[in-house]
Structure 1
Amino acid sequence: MCGIAGIFHTEGLKPVDPARVTAMCDALAHRGPDGEGVWTAPGVGLGHRRLAIIDLAGSPQPMASSDGAAMLVFNGEIYNFRELRRELAAQGARFRTDGDSEVILAAWQRWGVDCLPRLNGMFAFALYDLRARTLLLARDRLGVKPLFTATLSDGAVIFGSELKALLAHPGLRREIDPLAVEDYLTWGYVPDHAAILKGVEKLPAGHYRLLRHDAAPPASVQWWDVSFAERERGSEADLGVHLLHRLREGVTSRMEADVPLCAFLSGGVDSSTVVALMAEASTAPVKTCSIGFDVAALDETSYAEKVARRFHTEHHARTVGADDYALVDRLAGMFDEPFADASALPTFRVCELARQHVTVALSGDGADEAFAGYRRQVFHHREEQVRGLLPAALRQPLFGGLGALYPRMDFAPRPLRAKATLLSLARSGEEGYARALAVTSEEQRAALYSSDFLRLRGDYRAEQPFIALMRNAPARSGLDRAQYADLKFYLPGDILTKVDRTSMAVSLEAREPLLDHRLIEFGARLPERMRVRGATGKYLMKQAMRRSLPDDVLFRPKMGFVTPIAQWLRGPLAAEARAVADGAVLARTGWFDAAALRTIAESHIAGVADHSRLLWQLVMLDRSLAKLL
């Protein structure tokens, strides 16, 4: 795992100052403490920070191809590099190292951009071809590894693994994009189609850009997508065997490393599955790391310990408490853009714990998106069945009217919290699912914004690109469309961003075996009844793992990595909640109605409503803006 950065001139072969590339790489030192390098040529500069995982001494970067005609900086891992190496060697390629970086260079020289579908891994890389004078920027299928770009006023394209690399370049303007603020207030993160600063872009997952010195920067090209339009055939038993094979492939391929590795273990289905399959494939005890909370109702450590005992792992654990709120400024620095998934805090702590023992950690991320494991997906599946029974002309006035009258009951038992469901049923499936995923609704945001910000936002609404993504999905059903949107929007924007930044902050490589693209593609083809059965999501995966995991792990209610921020903001951190309305940076922007923010804070502290996610969003926005501006 590494950090990359660079500069490419699209208006001729202007010289690149190596010191400027070095400064961009220095901003990424946490991503690669084991080595650094910069290479420049007329019109281009590439920089690299290395975290050594495979071929520890033999693969420094930037790396030249065997004939010196191409240069590479690469962040990630190619899990099938040995098979590709053998194939390329049989066709005449020569190799000087034992790592995966040189395989990318040889693959490019053999197949051009068609090399990308042959790579099984997580990656973001920049490859300069000295003969063609082109720069290839590429990102892996699902967006595990990030890549930020910006085009400067002089025609230079700058890029880096994190926004902070671009911020190190003096030519980057620091102007906040108000539409990205709208995105952030809606989702709790800035999705991949946007960036907090005007002029900055993120290369989308499964896309590449091929830059030339004599042409304007082109649009990105999609080289991979996942389709939910086809269906696997076979019995439940046969499909379960196939699924288990794919799960094993994903786990074992990500266990290869020349350094120690462990697994994150929450005690839920996904992380427990990874640990079970690691234990099956390993001759030595698996190392596991867990995080608990000081709020008993949200603490899953007993389940993690049960799984650890079952597989005789070398288990390490620690507890996160309200005192860990002191990390808020450090978190803002890790993410650069505002990021309000509160589970980033315990994720950072478990990464910190893992780094004390290993250099690589396997996580359980991805199965919920691939196999319909989120509660909202199961609800959406049921709602789509209702939508199929009633025409929109009847649904909209019926459920819309009931939803408007039904009280908001945040603290009531779940069956009584019907307001959101009623309002969702009054809308299309895409609109309803966007509402289910959003932290704040369009109505809530309108009440928060000042009149000046409403003018800046104009007609744009954050839900629009999400709804369009669902409607244009290669899918058969509403459940398909919801999962597609989660894989393409929520996964890279929230989950993978969280894991990448928190792990890299402590120079830990995180790998996601359940995001092996072969497994994802298989999951997308499963019949709906193999994904959702009654109220159970991830049905086939749970059935396939019953031979290895107990039912009280597989079938207990899903908790997720939930941080007790609501309790903290009502108790030891109440002062922080009250300070939101008068946050120094937020107050200067004039974007929000201060009286509305005070009302939200006081109603949360009093227990009248649960506004914890919104309050945490505002805290993180304030701290992030303080570092950006």
Structure 2
Amino acid sequence: MCGIVGLFDMRGGREIDRATLHRMNESQFHRGPVEGGLHLEPGLGFGHRRLSIIDLASGQQPLFNEDHSVVVVFNGEIYNFQALMVELQALGHTFRTHCDTEVIVHAWEQWGEACVPRLRGMFAFTIWDRNAQVLFMARDRLGIKPMHYAFLPDGMLAFGSELKTLLCLPNLSREIDPRAVEDYFAYGYVPEPRTIFTSALKLMPGHTLTLRVGQAAPPPKKYWDVPFTPHAPMRDEEMEEELVVRLREAVASHLIADVPLGAFLSGGVDSSAVVAMMAGLSREPVNTCSIGFNDTSFDESVYAQQVADQYHTNHQREIVDTDDYGLIDTLAALYDEPYADSSAIPTYRVCELARKRVTVALSGDGGDENFAGYRRHRFAMGEEKVRSMMPLTLRKPLFGMLGKVYPKADWAPQMFRAKTTFEALARDLVEGYFHGVSIQADRVRDNLFSDAFRTRLQGYRAIEVMRGHAANAPTDDPLSIIQYIDMKTYLPGDILTKVDRASMAHALEVRVPLLDHQFVEWVSGLPSSSKLRNGEGKHVFKQALKPYLSDDILYRKKMGFSIPLGAWLRGPLRESMRRAVLNPALLETGIFNETYLKQMIDQHQSGAKDHTVSLWSVLMFEAFLRKNGASAAAGSH
């Protein structure tokens, strides 16, 4: 696990500036504090920061083949590297190390671009093949590991694990992409392949990019997708038995390490399932950790303790003050672009806690995406059921009118918040789902943005991201379509980004066995009715886990990783929030409607309306601008 960077002359042969490459590499020192390495040759520079996990003595990067004609920099873990090593040795390849990185080099020599589908794991890597004059980049199937890149005005390509590596380059434009701003204030993050800057991109999950010296860059190429191919009919009992077998195998494949290994244990279904499987596979007690909050309404560590007691884990629990708002600027520096998921704060803390005892931690991320575990999945299918009873030509005017006249009632119990439901019923599946997951509705963003900024958007709307993915979905099942959308947007853009940056800030590797691609492929083929049944998400998953976890764990209300944001913004963050939201540098961007910003602050602090999400997203945008310099806002041309 590490950080990678590089510079590549697409025209060929120019010298790479060592000082620039070194600065890029050291900007992500936290990702690999054990050691660093650089390789430079005409037209190419690779850098690597290492956090040693496998083959601690060797395996330094950049790593070469025997004649140094092929070199790789790699971030991640290849879980089937031992089997691939045996296969490649049988084909005549000689290995100098026992690490997974060298497998990539020889796999490239043997199979070229076709090596990527053979890799099982989480990875982002770049290969330079001098003989073929080819630079090849690849990112894992679900986007567990990041890859940012930019084509520079001087004909160079730059890449790095984190966006901050590219921000070391003086000739990288800091112009903000208006579409990324619209996306951010709709989703709370900037979805792939965009970054907040017009000049930089993220390599999409499940994609590769092949560049040849002297040739124009082609678009990235997709090598994998979530299949959603239905299985032959199975009885529920067969499904549950096979699920456990496959889950255990996925967890087992993620346990290879030469350093201390443990697991996050929140007390939710997903992390508890991973710990239960680990306990059955390990001779020693599993190292687990959880954080609790001093406010019991946000604390679920008691459930984590139940699972720890059941499986006799070596459990570590720390109580965190819910007023942990001192991390705002730290998070802005970590994420390099606006990021509004406030659960990044407790995630940062649990990674900090885990690193005190282990170097690798398994997490339960991916369970909700695989098994339709989010509340919004239930709501979307409920709305879809109503939609199916009435054609869109009747629904749109009827529910559209009701949505407009019904008062917005965020303060009321869920059953009385009909405005959002009416608005969703007036839409199709994708519009309704976008409306449900947006952190700020279209009308709120219209108020938030200035007239001039809306003109710059040229009619662009954030829903286009979801529409694009829905059009490519390999299924026509409504629940599968929204799961597919989640796996392309929320999973890599929010969940996996959050965990990668928070863990790497503490030189901790986090592995996600529920996102093992073989497990994901199999689960995607299960019928929707096995995932969401009678209004209950994760049905088959919970049924399969009944022999391993109590009903208290399986069927309690989902809490999430929440913090009391609204109270912070009315209390201890009251003044700093006002200063940030009305910061002249923020207003000078020309993005925001100053009158509406002031109105939100006054209404929220008086208790007249709850603008928590909107104010937090603006607060984090302002922190991003400050960390990257106010000049980052100069994108109006």
TM-score range for the pair, normalised by the shorter chain length: over 0.9
Moved more, 322-331 or 545-554: 322-331
Q: Counterpart of 2:233 in structure 1: which amino acid? A: R
Q: Which moved more, 1:48-57 or 1:408-417?
A: 408-417
1:18, CA displacement in angstroms?
2.2
Which residue number corresponds to residue 72 of structure 2? 72
Are 1:139 and 1:205, in contact at CA under 8 Å, matched by a contact in 2? yes
Q: Within 2, Cα distance between the matches of 1:285 and 1:415? A: 45
What per-residue deviation string (whole Å, max 9, x for no partner) do you get for residues 60-93 of structure 1?
0000013322101000000010111111111111
Quote the residue 2:14 is aligned against. Answer: 14
Mapped partners of 1:459, 1:274: distance in 2: 45
Structure 1: distance between partners of 2:109 and 2:425: 53
1:347 aligns with 2:347: yes
The superposition leaves residues 233-275 of structure 1 with CA deviations (integer Å, 9 ceiling, x where unpaired) of: 2111111111111211221111111000111111111111111
Q: Does residue 400 of structure 1 match 2:400?
A: yes
SS of the aligned residue for 1:289 comes to strand
Kindly state the Cα deviation for residue 580 of structure 1 after the two structures are TM-superposed. 4.2
Letter in 2 for 1:123: F
**Residues 580 and 597, structure 1, Cα contact 8 Å, conserved in 2:** no
Q: How does 1:324-343 map to 2 (within 5 A)?
A: 324-343=324-343
Kindly provide the CA deviation profile for residues 478-533 of structure 1, in whole angstroms up to 9, marking residues without a partner as x. Answer: 11110000001111000000000010011111111110011111111111111101
Is the CA contact 2:135–2:212 (under 8 Å) kept in the aligned structure 1? yes
CA 1:441/1:231 → structure 2, altered by over 3 Å: closer, same or farther? farther
> Which blocks of at least 5 consecutive residues in structure 1 are unaligned?
none
Q: For the residues of structure 2 that align with 1:232 and 1:513, how far apart are their CA atoms?
A: 25
Of the structure 1 ranges 223-232 and 64-73, higher mean CA displacement relative to structure 2 is found in 223-232
TM-superposed deviation, 1:572? 2.4
* 4+ residue runs over 6 A deviation: none
For 1:586, the equivalent position in structure 2 comes to: 586
Shift of 1:557: 1.5
Whole-Å separation in 2 of the counterparts to 1:545 and 1:322: 32
Task: Give 1:105's aligned amino acid.
Answer: V
- The equivalences for 1:202-241 within 5 A come to 202-241=202-241
Alignment of 1:173-252 (within 5 A): 173-252=173-252
Would the aligned equivalents of 2:440 and 2:614 in 1 still touch at CA under 8 Å?
yes
The alignment status of 1:302 with 2:309, answered yes or no, reads: no
Tell me the SS of whatever aligns to 1:75. strand
Q: Provide the residue aligned with 1:89 in structure 2.
A: 89
Residue 602 (str. 1) matches residue 608 (str. 2): no
1:375-394 equivalent positions in 2, closer than 5 A: 375-394=375-394
Q: Which residue of 1 is the match for residue 312 of structure 2?
A: 312
Identity of aligned residues (%): 49
Aligned AA for 1:296? T
State the match for 1:113 in structure 2. Answer: 113
Change in CA separation of 1:186 and 1:168 when aligned onto 2, cut-off 3 Å = same
Matched, 1:515 2:493: no
CA contact (8 A) 2:246 2:519 kept: yes
Q: Is the 8 A contact 1:5 1:48 kept in 2?
A: yes
SS of the equivalent of 2:489 reads helix
Superposed, which structure 2 residues align to 1:499-514 within 5 Å?
Answer: 499-514=499-514
Larger deviation, residues 373-382 vs 12-21:
12-21
Output the amino acid matched with 2:217. Answer: P
**Corresponding residue SS for 2:136:** strand
Aligned partner of 1:288 in structure 2 is: 288
- SS of residue paired to 1:589: coil
Find the aligned partners of 1:559 and 1:405 in 2 and give their Cα distance: 32
Match of 1:31 in 2: 31
Q: Provide the rounded CA distance (Å) in 2 between the counterparts of 1:145 and 1:585.
A: 33
Shift of 1:232: 4.4
1:575 counterpart = 2:586 = no
Inter-partner Cα distance in structure 2 for 1:575 and 1:490: 31
Q: CA deviation at 1:118?
A: 0.6
Structure 1 equivalent of residue 544 of structure 2: 544
Q: Equivalent residue for 2:635?
A: none
**Partners of 1:303 and 1:575 in 2: how far apart?**
36
What's the secondary structure of 1:245's corresponding residue? helix
Q: Please say if residues 578 and 602 of structure 1, whose CA atoms lie closer than 8 Å, have aligned partners that are also in contact.
A: no
1:441 to partner: Cα distance: 1.3
Cα distance in 2 for residues equivalent to 1:482 and 1:387: 15
What's the C-alpha RMSD, in Å, of the aligned pairs? 1.3
Alignment of 1:398-437 (within 5 A): 398-437=398-437
User: Which deviates the most, 255-264 or 568-577?
Assistant: 568-577
Question: Is the partner of 1:347 in helix, strand or coil?
Answer: helix
Q: Using the alignment, how far apart are the partners of 2:410 and 2:321 within structure 1?
A: 24
Q: Name stretches of at least 5 consecutive residues in structure 2 with no aligned partner.
A: 630-637
- Whole-Å separation in 1 of the counterparts to 2:581 and 2:98: 56
For the residues of structure 1 that align with 2:377 and 2:226, how far apart are their CA atoms? 18
Contact kept, 8 Å, 2:323 with 2:568, in 1: the verdict is no
Contact 1:228 / 1:475 at 8 angstroms: preserved in 2? yes
Q: Is the 8 A contact 2:293 2:322 kept in 1?
A: no
Q: 2:264 touches 2:362 (CA, 8 Å); kept in 1? A: yes
The residue identity in structure 2 corresponding to 1:361 is: A
Q: What's the secondary structure of 1:453's corresponding residue?
A: helix
Query: For residues 404 and 249 of structure 1, what CA distance do their matches in structure 2 show?
Result: 51
Q: How many residues align?
A: 629
Q: Which moved more, 1:458-467 or 1:397-406?
A: 397-406
Q: 2: CA distance between counterparts of 1:403 and 1:100?
A: 55
1:275 maps to amino acid: V
Q: Write the distance in 1 (CA, Å) between the matches of 2:126 and 2:304.
A: 40
Q: Is contact 1:581–1:594 with CA below 8 Å preserved after alignment?
A: no
In structure 2, how many angstroms separate the alpha carbons of the residues matched to 1:231 and 1:476?
15
**Is 229-238 or 359-368 further displaced after alignment?**
229-238
Task: State whether residues 360 and 511 of structure 1, in contact with CA within 8 Å, keep that contact through their aligned partners in structure 2.
Answer: yes
1:142 counterpart = 2:163: no
Determine the C-alpha separation between the residues in 1 that align with 2:9 and 2:581: 44
Can you list the C-alpha shifts for 1:583-620, whole angstroms capped at 9, x where unaligned?
A: 24312213211221122123223333332121111111
2:295 and 2:322 in contact (8 A); partners too: no
Aligned equivalents of 2:68, 2:468: Cα separation in 1: 45
Paired residues of 2:581 and 2:615 also in contact (CA < 8 A) = no
Partners of 1:359 and 1:567 in 2: CA distance: 35
Could you tell me how far apart the structure 1 residues matched to 2:170 and 2:90 are? 47
Partners of 1:119 and 1:399 in 2: CA distance: 49
